[in-house]
Amino acid sequence: MTTQRPHPARPQPRKTWPLLISAATAAIASGLTAPAQAGNGTLDSIRSSGELVIGYRADAIPFSYDLPGAKQPVGYAIEICKQLAEGMKKELKLKELSLRYKAVDSKQRFPAVAEGQVDLECANTTNNRERRDKLGMAFTIPHYIAGTRMLVRKDSNIERVEDLGGKRVITTKGTTSAPLIKAKAQDLSLSIKLLECDDDQQCFNAVDKRQADAYLMDDILLYSFRASAPKPDEFAVVGKLLSIEPLSIMMSKKDAALKKFVDVEMARLVRSGEVAKLYKQWFEAPIPPKNMNLNVPMNYLTRDSFKFPTDQVGD
């Protein structure tokens, strides 16, 4: 990456920034311009530089991913962040706002946000208490609510978590899946061999090559890997939901003004139906580079959450 844009010192946040649905429109009109002009936070830095830095995962189909030969990533979360950037450009009264993208992996994403290397992380990151309280992260309204399940080869005879005794289970480093399966195995007295890979593609490849028996991850990513496999019918996504994962755009907890702006703008995009349109584009229609269709209608958890958009989630 080129020389990083320095971020000035940022104001300390209030303890919480609950999204008041009924006041969201009024907040845009009355509450955002003043914090942005305070001169101490990310919004002021963005105004000065004319640049928004977006962190993304390079292989998180369909949320964010690289295309061969393309200069910019694509995906559902990327498009949402582009819409947020348009709102930011208007709010900051900028003629132009350039977008710079920085690829981060499952471990790099947290320090990249905390250290100001990226302003927003736009991918498939779960909002949970540990990341808010211990890592200093903040999250906006979820754009997808996933559930942790397992991807297996159909001939593995694995259909539920109770079938994992003596099996090799693989997860991606830095995700919520590793502690989840450890706790589940202990509860069920299962002896499993837990493996960890550096990225999602590597995990899928391990199952594909029979180096692992089950890949534990957010169900939508498992569906995307199955759909993109040379022989999708050889794989299955199995088991009950082991967790509920609200996937959200992530930013630093230190910048309350940025958090407030993103919450209000995200609520507007959800209620206007714009996010639902993007969902259909990326989950229910052919997507690049191979024009595969994931054929994943919006689940009831995501659909219901869009009726009352809020950043407050259960842990």
Q: Report DSSP letters for 196-265, one per residue.
A: EESSHHHHHHHHHTTS-SEEEEEHHHHHHHHHHSSSGGGEEEES----EEEE--EEETT-HHHHHHHHHH
Alpha-carbon distance of 116 to 148, in angstroms, equals: 30
Task: Find the radius of gyration of the CA atoms of the chain.
Answer: 20
Q: Map residue 92 onto helix, strand or coil.
A: coil
The single-letter code of the amino acid at 297 is P
Alpha-carbon 72 to chain mean position:
17
For β-strands 244-247 and 144-153, DSSP reports them as: antiparallel
Residue 304 Cα distances to 62, 171, 234, 298, 299, angstroms: 21, 29, 33, 10, 9
- What is residue 40's predicted lDDT score, i.e. its pLDDT? 56
Q: Which domains does the chain have, with CATH numbers?
A: 21-143+248-307 (3.40.190.10), 146-245 (3.40.190.10)
Tell me the torsion sign for CA atoms 106, 261, 301, 236. Answer: negative
pLDDT > 50? residue 21: no
Alpha-carbon distance of 241 to 249, in angstroms, equals: 22
Share of the chain above pLDDT 90, in %: 83
Structural element, H or E, at residue 97 = none
Mean pLDDT of the region 128-146: 96
Tell me which residue of 3, 2, 97 sits closest to 46, measured CA to CA.
97
Asked whether the beta carbons of 261 and 139 are under 8 A apart, the reply is no
Asked whether the beta carbons of 53 and 116 are under 8 A apart, the reply is no
pLDDT > 70? residue 24: no
- What is residue 315's predicted lDDT score, i.e. its pLDDT? 72
- What is residue 187's predicted lDDT score, i.e. its pLDDT? 96
The full DSSP string for 276-314 is HHHHHHHHSS-BTTTTB----PPPHHHHHHHHS--S---
Share of the chain above pLDDT 70, in %: 87
Residues 238-279 pLDDT 10s: 999 999 999 999 999 999 999 999 999 999 999 999 999 999
b/e sequence 162-175, b meaning 16+ C-beta within 10 Å: ebbeebbbbbbebb
Q: Please, what is the average pLDDT of the chain? A: 89
pLDDT > 60? residue 27: no
pLDDT > 80? residue 42: yes
The single-letter code of the amino acid at 78 is I
Residues 192-250 pLDDT 10s: 999 999 999 999 999 999 999 999 999 999 999 999 899 999 999 999 999 999 999 99
Tell me which residue of 4, 315, 60 sits closest to 174, measured CA to CA.
60
CA end-to-end span of the chain: 35
pTM for the model stands at 0.79
Residue owning tokens 């714009």: 274
Residue-level length of the chain? 315
Q: Is 314 exposed, middle or buried (0-12, 13-18, 19+ CB in 10 A)?
A: exposed
